[in-house]
Chains A and B, each alone.
Chain A
Amino acid sequence: MIVLRARPLVLMVLALIPLALASLLIGVADLSGAQGGLILSISRWPRTLAVMLTGAALAVAGVVMQELVRNRFVEPGTTGTGEAAALGLLLATLAFPEAGIGTRMIAASLGGLAGTAVFLSLIRHLPPQEVLLIPLTGLIWSGVLGAVVLHIGWQTDLIQLVGIWLMTGEFSGVIAGRYELLWIAGLAAGLALFAADRLAILGLGDGVARGLGLNPEAVMRLGLVIVAVVTAMVMATVGMIPFLGLVVPNIVSRVMGDNLRASLPVTALAGAGLLLTCDIIGRLLIFPYELPVSTVLGVLGAGVFLWLLWRRPGHD
């Protein structure tokens, strides 16, 4: 039993190692030269780590969001969390131009928290059997928030900054010293591993959770914080990366179910692996130039998303 459960995890680790090695080796600069060690430690290693942290954290955030909403078709990128975090960051940048990175990240996280909380209250009255209304509402909500962010960005000449946050997530600019916030995203995702049983029980419904002695609101708040912090850190560091939080949890759930205690670590590793694969593809397709990872993932993810919608019409 233990062997069976451990197997997907071991497979994931084994798959991740060659991917990480490939990511370390791909690039224009020659690692065997005099600067090789420096390039590795300043650029390649941080980039590889950043991609894996982002992938793992976004996949876990996707699972958490799906348990909170009890719907498979949501992720932080389709519920307004990213746009709301960008709004928080933008407002903080405007109101306190001198503010340090800590303050601005708190503002981004709070923005994401508020935006997601509004989304949750928006969907509360939707009929639960209409599963596609929830992601649609999320898309509309994130569209509205995105428009507000763009408008303010336009008015205040910060459109370039906003563009980096909202448009295309990519890792070409990642070097040592410019990705470390992603560790916070990783830590937040790690929190979900500790709360795996609680989140899984919450997914069974408020009634069941309360009956088992859990406080559903408290678990909900914890989940919200995880989702908001992960999204805010990723959005501010590398930009939004669509679909990852949707695709990876759905595939892992198909294969091994939603017993999060067993499946969340696999989901995290699969997220890291998928994003790393997309990043490597993006770096190789038009070498020595790069395609943003979110573009590669968008093409891949849209396909998988359509497939998910198509094979499970209407309900679960």
Chain B
Amino acid sequence: MIAVSDVHHHIGQAQILRDITLTLPAGKITALIGPNGAGKSTLLSLVARLTPLQQGQITVAGLDVQRAPSRELARTMAILPQNVAVFSRLRVRELVAFGRWPHHQGRPGPQDAAKVAAALHDMGLDDLSHRFLDQLSGGQRQRAHLAMALAQDTPWLLLDEPLAALDMAHARALMQTLARLRDSGKSIVMVLHEVNYAAAWADHVVALKAGRVLAHGTPETVFAPDVLGALYDTRLRVIRQDGRPLVLHHL
């Protein structure tokens, strides 16, 4: 599990996170939701040790993210940062192959090639694997970066808005892949902008607002109309669809 205790974070004068203490369960899909500026990405970035911790402690599978060796952490969690923009002119396969770096440190073996091929396949990139990234659309590039994170083949997968730029078919395919990975024992934490993907696929939901945890638990508990209305400060309806909550907020 991921244990976050007593985490505060500020950028300049702005308090981004206040007194965050929570645990994220292993073997589940956890969704971080909340309005813009709630601190979701910051929290994920702190967990992924991309941002230095200012106060508090975070452990992932028992590893202190501030102290554990970086390579060990890289074999424990893979991270998809938000808005990845790459200046390098790499082929899709070359990018995805870098996901194996923590395992081989420059000397890839046959099992590395197999993981890369599997990740490319999972993200529907078989036909694009020899294309340069700058020849791809935004959604295709996003899938290439996702494939890189999948190729890292870590017990934990941290994804910051993985659905950004993906069309409906690829968004659903990604959620199905993540569900399959979850069923095979992996743990997934993702920032989701679109609440209905959280409602339909997440096992555990954390709702952040203004740097605090407003609610967390199963989708059923978090997706109560009053909780969700308070979270986003807007009128919305929650109906049931196939035993899952479905939020109507566009009407």
Complex CA distance for A214 and B91, rounded to whole angstroms: 21
B101: interface (CB < 8 Å): yes
Query: B9-17, B19-27, B72-80, B166-174: which lies at the A interface?
Result: B72-80
Residue on B nearest A131 in the bound complex, by CB: B87
Interface residues of B, dominant DSSP: mixed
In the complex, number of A-B residue pairs with CB atoms less than 8 Å apart:
82
Render B97-133 as a binary contact track against A, CB cut-off 8 A, 1 for contact: 0110110001000000000000000000000000010
Contact of A207 among B73, B75, B79, B95 (CB under 8 A): B79
Report yes or no: A212 in contact with B91, Cβ–Cβ below 8 A.
Answer: no
Complex CA distance for A205 and B160, rounded to whole angstroms: 15
Complex CA distance for A259 and B86, rounded to whole angstroms: 13
Report yes or no: A203 in contact with B81, Cβ–Cβ below 8 A.
Answer: no
Given contacts A197-B101, A197-B106, A257-B94, whether A213 and B74 have CB atoms under 8 Å apart is yes
Within 8 A of B (CB), among A170-224: 197, 200-201, 203-208, 210-215
Report yes or no: B75 in contact with A213, Cβ–Cβ below 8 A.
Answer: yes
Given contacts A212-B98, A213-B75, whether A257 and B132 have CB atoms under 8 Å apart is yes
Residue on A nearest B49 in the bound complex, by CB: A210
A71: interface (CB < 8 Å): yes
Contacts of A207 in B (CB 8 A): 45, 50, 79, 81, 84
Contact of A213 among B86, B88, B95, B102 (CB under 8 A): B102
Contact of B89 among A206, A211, A215, A258 (CB under 8 A): A258
B-side interface residues, number (CB < 8 Å): 34
Q: Give the Cβ gap from A271 to chain B, nearest Cβ, in Å.
A: 18
Within 8 A of A (CB), among B45-91: 45, 48-50, 70-75, 77-79, 81, 84-91
Contacts of A295 in B (CB 8 A): none
Report yes or no: A128 in contact with B85, Cβ–Cβ below 8 A.
Answer: yes
Given contacts A200-B98, A258-B89, A316-B134, whether A208 and B70 have CB atoms under 8 Å apart is no
Contacts of A201 in B (CB 8 A): 98, 101
Report yes or no: B152 in contact with A212, Cβ–Cβ below 8 A.
Answer: yes
Residue on B nearest A66 in the bound complex, by CB: B87
Contacts of B81 in A (CB 8 A): 205, 207-208, 211
Residue on B nearest A203 in the bound complex, by CB: B88
Contacts of A259 in B (CB 8 A): 90-91, 94
Q: Which of B79, B87, B94, B148 has the most CB of A within 10 A?
A: B87
Complex CA distance for A71 and B85, rounded to whole angstroms: 12
Complex CA distance for A203 and B84, rounded to whole angstroms: 12
Complex CA distance for A204 and B49, rounded to whole angstroms: 17
Complex CA distance for A287 and B77, rounded to whole angstroms: 64
A283: interface (CB < 8 Å): no
Contacts of A257 in B (CB 8 A): 88-91, 94, 132
Interface residues of A (CB under 8 A from B): 67, 70-72, 128, 197, 200-201, 203-208, 210-215, 253-254, 257-259, 316
Interface residues of B (CB under 8 A from A): 45, 48-50, 70-75, 77-79, 81, 84-91, 94-95, 98-99, 101-102, 106, 132, 134, 148-149, 152
Cβ-closest 3 pairs across A and B: A213-B74, A207-B81, A213-B71
